[in-house]
Amino acid sequence: MLTARTALSRRVIAALDASPSRIPVLLGGCGSGRTTMLQQVRERLGRTAVQYIDVERTATTPERFLRAITAVSPFPVADSSASTPAGARPAFDAALGFFGRVRSAASEPATFLLDEFLELRTFESFPGLRRVQHDFVEGLSSSSNRFVLTSRYTARALRLLRDRSARFEVIHMPALTTEDSLDILGPTAAGDAHDADYLARTVQSLADGRPAYVRALADELGTMREHGGPGGGDAISALAALLAPEGRLAKQCAFSYELRLHRARGYGALKAILEILAEDEGLTLTEISHRLQRTPGSTKDYLSWLEDVDLVTSRQKRYSFADPLLRLWVRLHCRPTPPVDEEVGREVQQYALTRVPKPEPAPALAYAGIDATLEERKSWGIIEID
């Protein structure tokens, strides 16, 4: 396990072990490592002492959700043979009661890992559940059981938890460091320590420190070097291959793009704004509205909806993509025809120019001494006269 991730899992477990226990809420974009962290916490605590629930996959109707979480629970469930309560609200109340009151086999507080907890919003369309998310967090905060929550929607989670119980501890998933990236690269970075460090810094910068992107680059680099791929297996060539129409990161970015847009309002106008920001970042509201050919008022609404699903971010009233690699994907793939290899290579090169760190001279060369300096001068034909 990576050192930084070990520290993060320890922080989560420390929150669970506090008295009273705190409720960690892990927030981060797609591919930031939230689910992986939950699985690591599950392994540390023991599978029989913890129940992991993928809310996104099980939140269909309240009745089916209740049956799903109780059927596979490692905790004793009273009256397990009883029928599910009739009606959406009674079924949700029963699920909330299960989370709040169930105990482990040793009569100790149960621990639940709830992945993508905001997907409970699905239940809002059922009678009596307009405030389902608020009811849920209030129910958890009053329970003596232990919980860890995650969500890919940072803005929505922060808004929901604002002014809530102090038990909720928001933890933003950190970007991977150069050392983390070096660990993931593994044998791919074997060899000269200076070259390995530069490769790790390059991969970390190109991937914006996102674990899923770093992992994809590491895997592609390994494959390219194993088979003698184009560019000798350099990180920029690997990124170009991953962003080709059938590439791994092209598919991953497409999934994130569509998922977030479908969770927002104004689908068509939002896509247009993303294309505008893909062409030029750091635009103001006025500049975007002019290019969109919509009023500033309407454009402001559209931008707030994009911020609500963490697709764009605003700094000093200038808007840009929250995920720089997703911006590159939009430039490449939101067009009438798929990009050809030359176009992918050109766009990736331009992206890399703004992010890849400049190589530093190897220490052995920087301090080689006078003889090396004289030799370099000779090779360039430079003569100094005192």
Backbone torsions φ then ψ of 189, nearest 5 degrees: -100, 15
By the 8 A CB rule, do 39 and 103 touch?
no
Examine the pLDDT at 332 and tell me if it is beyond 60. Answer: yes
Examine the pLDDT at 359 and tell me if it is beyond 80. Answer: no
Beta bridge partners of 170: 25
Q: pLDDT value at position 5? A: 73
User: How far is 349 from 330, CA to CA, in rounded Å?
Assistant: 15
Span 244-261, mean pLDDT?
Answer: 95
Examine the pLDDT at 343 and tell me if it is beyond 60. Answer: yes
By the 8 A CB rule, do 85 and 94 touch?
yes
Cα distances from 333 to residues 257, 328, 329, in angstroms, run 11, 9, 6
The residue ranking higher by pLDDT, 180 or 371, is 180
Average pLDDT of the chain, as a whole number: 88
Backbone torsions φ then ψ of 374, nearest 5 degrees: -65, -40
Quick one: pLDDT band at residue 59, thresholds 50, 70, 90?
Answer: very high
Q: Which two tokens stand for residue 94?
A: 């029963």
CA end-to-end distance (rounded Å), the chain: 59
Cα distances from 183 to residues 1, 30, 37, 219, in angstroms, run 9, 21, 17, 13
> How crowded is the C-beta side of 83, counted as CA atoms within 13 Å?
3
The helix/strand/coil state of 249 is helix
User: How far is 15 from 24, CA to CA, in rounded Å?
Assistant: 7
The conformation of residue 346, written as its DSSP 8-state character, comes to H
Cα dihedral sign, 285-286-292-295: positive
Query: What percent of the chain shows pLDDT beyond 70?
Result: 89
Examine the pLDDT at 364 and tell me if it is beyond 80. Answer: no
